[in-house]
Amino acid sequence: MKKIGITCRQENYPAGEAFPMKLVGVPSTYIEAIRSAGACPVLIPLGTSEQEVSELFAIIDGLIITGGSDIDPAYYDMPQHRGIGEIDVERDAFDFMVLELALEKKMPLLGICRGCQLFNVFLGGTLYQNLGPAETPLLHFQKSVRSSVSHHVVATPNTYLFEFFGKQTEFGVNSFHHQAIDVLGKNLRATLLAPDGIVEGIELESMEQFAVGIQFHPEMFIGHAQYAYMENMFAYFIQKTEEFPKEM
């Protein structure tokens, strides 16, 4: 059985000042998505050392970098703008360390939402810190249920993300982000675009390494038959871990 690493987030545990602690984990939808694809999820807790991550990489076959808080704009040499959300400096440092190791070992990689943005920033790209009317008329943080379509995206043919979603040139996605890719990072190309031109998916220009990022949340559609292409995406990712084995 293939094993897929999943990065974690942290939140303050509401136990009162006398018992300060944090919860570390992921929304259950990520775990359900990997299990539904026939693989075993392996959580990589925030705070895991670089040596420990390297040891975990010896047993996993692919990596998902999950969604969450905003990335500190200092990583792309920008001051914080009005409207930026919560920043977790510990998580930023941890996720960048994990991502760097993954790319070094050519670990099959999927970045989701924040994970997509992190991938772009790591390779020298920048972000819109808070999408507004000046950037787009389209609402990118939907108010409807998470397993519903907010808008459509257009895929570039003959790319990994085109294959990822059943070779559809256009399909519906959900949307829960107020930040987005502005300047693309080095050696990346945008292969999914929203109707307003906002980047919804990226991948390395070289197809010799499997590393992609998507701005939406396919894991939230698990179990919804009308959006089978979202669930099938995870099976496709597992397949790619066989085609692109990591370097030891």
Question: What are the DSSP calls for 83-133, one per residue?
Answer: T---B-HHHHHHHHHHHHHHHHTT--EEEETHHHHHHHHHTT--EESS--T
* Active-site residue, from 140, 151, 177, 217: 217
Cβ-proximal residues to 49 (8 Å cutoff; 6+ apart), any chain = none
Task: Note if 100 is an active site residue.
Answer: no
Distance CA 50, CA 66 (A): 18
| Segment (H or E) for 33 | helix 28-36
219 is catalytic: yes
> How big is the chain, counted in residues?
248
The dihedral over CA atoms of 73, 108, 141, 76, expressed in degrees to the nearest 10, equals 10
Identified catalytic residue from 116, 177, 203, 219: 219
Any catalytic annotation for residue 113?
yes
The catalytically annotated residue of 113, 140, 203, 231 is: 113
Six token digits for residue 71: 């990335």
Spatial separation of the C-alpha atoms in residues 222 and 37, rounded to whole Å: 10
CA distances from 162 to 167, 214, 228 (A): 5, 12, 15
The residues that are catalytic are 113, 217, 219
